[in-house]
Amino acid sequence: MTQTSPGRCLVHATAVALDGRAILLLGPSGSGKSDLALRLIDKGAILVCDDYCDIVDGVDGPQVVAKASIAGKIEIRGVGIVATPHIARAQIAMALHLDTLPDRMPQTNQNSNIVGWSIPSFAIAAFEASAPLKAIALLRLVVDARRHPVRLETPSYNRGDT
């Protein structure tokens, strides 16, 4: 993550929204961000942004914003850059880390700190066939448990599990 101004950072991530709630997919190049996003789109999600996302500090929580230069475009490995329906911004509900192997029985209170907010986060294996269903199930768990982003007293721009 690169802080670009107070309350705003640029993140190497992909984001999709389900029912207006953004899922931030975090991981290095080749970790499956765009692939998982495509499969979530097939399940009813809509693209917010692919590859690089602006994260801004919002009144009710962090928001992911599509960069104008790449809005509405997603990279499909082996195909190229493809236009796809998208929305310009969405409130972040949770983050999925694709660079960490998930535990068999994960803790449900893990968080990532982004632009001064602590948001629910989980590890997921992006290339598993069931990954989109797991992502949707995790989002439902977050929503049903009423886990919302919590403003931090001192903003942190690094991943930190609490």
In a domain, 157, yes or no: no
| Helices then strands, each counted (H, E), the chain | 2, 12
- Residue from 146, 32, 49, 156 nearest 94 by CA: 146
In a domain, 13, yes or no: yes
pLDDT score of 161: 44
- Residue from 160, 148, 159 nearest 59 by CA: 148
Q: Which range marks the domain in which residue 89 is found?
A: 2-150
3-state secondary structure 73-140: EEEECCCEEEECCECCEEEEEEEEECCCCCCCCCCCCCEEEECCEEEEEEECCCCCCCHHHHHHHHHH
In a domain, 161, yes or no: no
pLDDT score of 70: 94
pLDDT score of 122: 95
pLDDT score of 3: 64
Mean pLDDT in consecutive groups of 10 residues from the start of the chain, 162 residues:
76 96 96 97 98 91 94 95 97 95 81 90 96 97 91 59 40
Q: Which residues pair with 74 in a beta bridge?
A: 82
Q: What is the CATH number of the domain that holds 119?
A: 3.40.50.300
pTM for this predicted structure: 0.88
Tokens of residue 62, six digits: 């962090």
In angstroms, the CA 125 to CA 67 distance is 26
In a domain, 159, yes or no: no
Cα 70 to Cα 32, 34, 62, distances in angstroms = 18, 13, 20
pLDDT score of 137: 96
pLDDT score of 4: 66
Tokens of residue 118, six digits: 């602590």
What is the rounded (10 degree) CA torsion for 130, 65, 152, 108?
Answer: -10
In a domain, 128, yes or no: yes
In a domain, 117, yes or no: yes
In a domain, 162, yes or no: no
The count of domains in the chain is: 1
In a domain, 57, yes or no: yes
Task: Yes or no: say if 65 and 114 are a contact pair by the CB < 8 Å rule.
Answer: no
